[in-house]
């Protein structure tokens, strides 16, 4: 059942896009069959970022901050703060628009 869910989620938007991935970072909850499935289906490597053993307080995990920071940037846009979109295509388009806006603001001279 979980493999069918991954198949449905990823075949719709992420894998139909024009991006050429070769390496992914994933949270510890994706360890196991997901890593094998991605390797078999797409030939990509998946690096699972796990918590340190015995960790009880906040510890900055490698590469995880990149995802968290990007989610924080996207959360500042009103349409992305909640799940307003009816389709994954419209949600993906809104994310592209937000990221283009962020990049253009950084390219603008001070």
Q: Quick: pLDDT tens for 42-81.
A: 888 888 888 778 888 887 777 777 777 888 888 888 888 7
- pLDDT tens digits for range 15-30: 555 456 788 888 777 8
Q: Is the pLDDT of residue 1 over 50?
A: no
CA 80 to the chain's CA centroid: 14
CA 36-39-45 angle, to 5 degrees, is 105
């Amino acid at each position: 059942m979980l493999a069918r869910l991954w198949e449905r989620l990823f075949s719709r938007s992420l894998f139909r896009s024009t991006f050429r991935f070769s390496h992914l970072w994933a949270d510890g909850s994706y360890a196991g069959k997901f890593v094998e499935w991605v390797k078999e289906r797409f030939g990509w490597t998946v690096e699972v970022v796990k918590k340190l053993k015995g960790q009880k307080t906040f510890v900055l995990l490698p590469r995880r901050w990149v995802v968290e920071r990007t989610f924080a940037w996207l959360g500042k846009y009103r349409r992305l703060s909640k799940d307003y979109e009816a389709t994954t295509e419209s949600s993906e388009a809104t994310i592209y628009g937000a990221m283009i806006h962020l990049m253009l603001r950084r390219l603008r001279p001070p």
